[in-house]
Chains A and B, each alone.
Chain A
């Protein structure tokens, strides 16, 4: 029997282990890459809302800041955290953003708010970003 179908002398095709390992490793690498490509670096205290039809987040390393808005049930004030630093008074963030924006005109901020956050706290954040001269902002949500 000619050809590359197995090569056993009695004509029975043999199970080839080498191509199977090749395929397995390719599949393994594929699943590893899609699983670890998006590791969420989000504050675990924030439960993000779900928006399956929103666009996937663009990667803009260096020209994007994250504004985390934490909300405790029964609380009366959101906790503002910008780039990993907590701010008691959210207006203190304005000069920080202004100084970043001076060096990077395309700088934008993504708001990561807790799903139980009241709209007035979102408005505070948007007002503050407006004060800092930002025009384009984005709200963060999960795909599922």
Chain B
């Protein structure tokens, strides 16, 4: 009978304290990982194609040309903006936002032609496209090389 009582007193039940320890550690891991998670973003661009109009009045867009040189220098309508090392392009972004707001007020759209040199880095092109995404400009076309023969 005494032997039976001893086995009943041994605690083989579920231990809550170690479970909380483990849950805390796992949660801390996921909290830290959540801050460093890399998510894929996308920058849309339209290739020249056949646009269709439905007999409506066509409002001509405000056309802007942004050139990116091989060294990363960015110029809009032949005026240079920011430095080649500046990834955020604050001046260019500010001007693009103003242009977009002005076009919106007139019921027009901003059409940007991105012109790059052959050896311009893709990274720099994405910097400029990112500036346009910040300015909420979606109509972008892309050309490589000079237009002059």
Contact = CB atoms under 8 A, between A and B. Distances in A.
B129 to A, nearest CB: 7
B47 A54 contact: no
Interface in A119-144: 119-123, 126, 129-130, 134-144
Contacts of A61: none
Interface residues of B, number: 45
A115 interface: yes
B31 A31 contact: yes
B42 A110 contact: yes
A126 B44 CA distance: 12
A119 B117 contact: yes
Chain A CB within 10 A, most for which of B33, B34, B38, B126: B126
A24 B24 contact: yes
B122 A40 contact: no
Contacts of B16: 17, 21
Interface residues of A, number: 51
B39 interface: yes
A49 to B, nearest CB: 4
Contacts of A53: 130-131, 133-134
Contacts of A56: 39, 41-42
Contact of B120 (A27, A32, A48, A118): A118
Interface in A21-74: 21, 24-25, 27-28, 31-32, 34-35, 38, 40, 42, 48-58
Q: Taking chain A's interface residues, is the majority helix, strand, or loop, or is none over half, making it mixed?
A: mixed
Interface in A86-137: 110, 113-123, 126, 129-130, 134-137
B41 A117 contact: no
Given A135-B47, A139-B45, A118 B121 contact: yes
B126 A126 contact: no
Interface of B: 16, 19-20, 23-24, 26-27, 30-31, 33-34, 37-49, 68, 116-123, 125-127, 129-131, 133-134, 142-145
Given A32-B30, A142-B41, 4 more contacts: A35-B37, A51-B43, A115-B123, A118-B118
